[in-house]
């Protein structure tokens, strides 16, 4: 089954999900904190693979 929804858990060493949501928002990536440790990300139908990879790189850059 294909989906455009991604859930992931936030390691406590990164802060809370809310902290990560705030950091991502400053980088132009909007996601939702579902709880203190869980984030929900959804892509629009028009978002292509290149844009998803770019978002992934931005997320990774927060932890280097």
- The pLDDT of residue 62: 87
Q: Residue 1: pLDDT band by 50, 70, 90 thresholds? A: low
What whole-number distance in Å separates Cα of residue 55 and Cα of residue 6? 13
- The domain that holds 52 is classified in CATH as 3.90.1150.10
- State the DSSP string of 11-44: PGGG--HHHHHHHHHHTT---EE-SSSEEEEE--
- The pLDDT of residue 30: 93
Q: What is the mean pLDDT of residues 44-50?
A: 87
Domains in the chain: how many in total? 1
Of 20, 14, 64, residue with least CA distance to 39: 20
- The pLDDT of residue 26: 95
Q: What is the mean pLDDT of residues 15-43?
A: 95
Domain that residue 40 falls in = 5-61
Record the pTM. Answer: 0.82
């Amino acid at each position: 089954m294909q989906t455009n929804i991604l859930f992931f858990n936030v390691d406590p060493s990164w802060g809370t999900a809310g902290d990560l949501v705030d950091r991502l928002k400053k980088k132009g990536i909007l996601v939702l904190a579902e709880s203190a440790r869980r984030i929900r990300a959804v892509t629009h139908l028009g978002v292509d693979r290149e844009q998803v990879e770019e978002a992934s790189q931005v997320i990774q850059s927060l932890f280097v």
